[in-house]
Amino acid sequence: MYLDLPGLEAFIAVAELGSFRRAASRLGLSQPALTRRVQRLEGATGAELLDRRAQPIRLTAAGTALLPEAQEAIARLREAMRRAVDPDRGQRIEIGCLPTLAQRHLGPLLAAHGKSWPMSEVVVHESSATEIRTMLDGNRIDFALAAIGAERWTVERQPLFDEPFFLVLPRDHRLAGGKSVAWAELRDERMVATHAISENRRLVDAALDQARIHTSWRIEVRHLATAVAMVAAGAGVVALPASALPDPLPVGVVTLRLARPALTRRIGLLTPRERQLSPAARSLMAAIVAALRQPGPAAAAPRARGLRRPAAPR
């Protein structure tokens, strides 16, 4: 398909302003010239992108799907051109990161990086493991801090630490008085599940299958913080990795180490093999490795154990 950059710019302007007249003024074109650009783009895509009968002009279904992708593509192209002609302004780094790891680890590392590379720009894509794999496969990010799983051979993996899973449960739960809990003790428990395609769900389901335990998935949520809130409300129990545990825990909630068998996920840096990293990106990666590789201060298990609150007497 022909890549029509002038047509994309014209389409974006009309979509954002809702008017061919205002869009033409923004781009310094006559209105007929702007209309021809949009028509050529629609001819190239084979779909009508704008509903010209509406006032202000509205997007069709095809236009709605195209607009965010077109805006991002044009913005990236402009940024690439800016860096090419003005490389001293800084080096842009794009990284993927699981939200829980970003909240727990990235702040101090990015603060230190900013002092060493004051002109560097860092974009953090806080996404699920599935979404991060898609970005890695598309060579859209420099690297990712995420759980190591079923990546393709095109992705290099650098393990940093193993993170244990804990059971989050109400403090008045029958199991809350112990220091750990076996998977077998969860038989017939009401479970709060994380999103079906999440890496955490895959690991928990595999552990339950290995232990031949039947549980009831009564509630499914996307965000881990929501899962903890459901437990605090008494809706069930949930198995989560250490970095997903809030500190402090909500009132009335405790955690137990999952054992027999223990469940962990391996956290590491993931990099597309064909990606050429800038010096700033290599420096940030080295800082993450120095801070998080075991044994080190970021080993998650000791901190997570410290989160546990005593259970109420039974």
Whether residue 300 has pLDDT greater than 60: no
What confidence score (pLDDT) does residue 200 get?
A: 76
Cα–Cα distance for residue pair 107/112, rounded to 1 Å: 9
**CA nearest neighbour of 99 among 146, 141, 165, 140:** 146
Write the single-letter amino acid at 214: H
What confidence score (pLDDT) does residue 296 get?
A: 45
Contact 237, 231 (CB under 8 A): yes
Contact 12, 71 (CB under 8 A): yes
**CA nearest neighbour of 140 among 200, 83, 73:** 73
Q: Look up residue 186 and give its two tokens.
A: 């969860």
In the structure, what pLDDT confidence band is assigned to residue 309 with cuts at 50, 70 and 90?
very low
What is the residue-averaged pLDDT of the chain? 84
In the structure, what pLDDT confidence band is assigned to residue 73 with cuts at 50, 70 and 90?
confident
What confidence score (pLDDT) does residue 297 get?
A: 40
Write the single-letter amino acid at 66: L
Encode pLDDT of 208-235 as tens digits.
777 777 766 678 888 888 889 999 998 8
Cα–Cα distance for residue pair 312/171, rounded to 1 Å: 6
Encode pLDDT of 78-94 as tens digits.
777 766 655 545 578 99
